[in-house]
Amino acid sequence: MSIRKLALILALILSLGLAGCGGEDSQQQDETGGSSVAMTDEETAGEMTEKEPATGGTMEETTSGMFETTGMTEATTGMAGDEVSVGGFAVDGFNAPAVEVPEVSASTEDVEAYRNEIEPIISGSIRDVSDVVEPKARMQDGKLELGVDVAPIEKARDSARQGLDELQQVEPPDSLAPVQETLVKSYEDAIPAYDSLIEAFQSGDVDSLNAAVTESLPQIEQAAAVQRDILQDLEQATN
């Protein structure tokens, strides 16, 4: 996932929400179920520039440290029957606590079997925000209308729900249970964030849009980073 791309998406959606503060502009839902905000050409010139966060620096600089993984080292692989260590790292969030992945030891056979079981689940359900949030722009009666199509977001949420259901059916060995719990928690965090995001875009409410940008989007992306990094760590331990 490109941090630059996510930063631009965040800036665009913030522009969408902030533009709605004007008394003369109206917010409405488009035919696809997304929300849209109309802006005049003069407003567009000011609103389409990147917003600087209150802490200083550009939006891209602020998000450049999002979802970094700390403490992850190259896993030590072993022969069949050996034990290897997995976990023992943290996935940082944006304005959110880091998610700690506990370090555990397990046999290579158990790690490989567990990885093979969860890999198709994660691969089939993980989504980056930059892939599911699709801003749209069009000129209508001399005004630029910005909107977000919620259909891809709803599809991503449904994939996350299915992934959670499938993951909860997995019975890992006791040694890998803490890793499993962290994975399940990442899905449980992402699904309500998807719900909040969809509701905000459908409502067109400025406060809800701003909350979605500052809270829900980073929660979804952090959850995806946790899932991706755990899978990568398991692969390193068995390759």
For the segment 78-88, what is each residue's pLDDT rounded down to a tens digit? 555 689 999 99
Contact 19, 146 (CB under 8 A): yes
Task: Report the 10 Å Cβ neighbour count for 95.
Answer: 10
Q: Is the pLDDT of residue 100 over 50?
A: yes
Sign of CA dihedral 98, 99, 100, 101: negative
Q: Is the pLDDT of residue 64 over 50?
A: no
Q: What is the pTM of this model?
A: 0.70
Per-residue confidence (pLDDT) for residue 231, from 0 to 100: 96
Q: How many domains does the chain have?
A: 1
> Once rounded to an integer, what is the mean pLDDT over residues 182-197?
95
Its domain, for residue 128, covers: 3-238
Instruction: Show the tokens assigned to 73.
Output: 């080292």
The CA distance from 4 to 21, in Å, is: 26
- Neighbour-count burial of 49, counting CB atoms closer than 10 A to its CB (0-12 exposed, 13-18 middle, 19+ buried): exposed
Residue that wins the pLDDT comparison between 157 and 80: 157
Please give the share of the chain, as a percent, with pLDDT higher than 90.
42
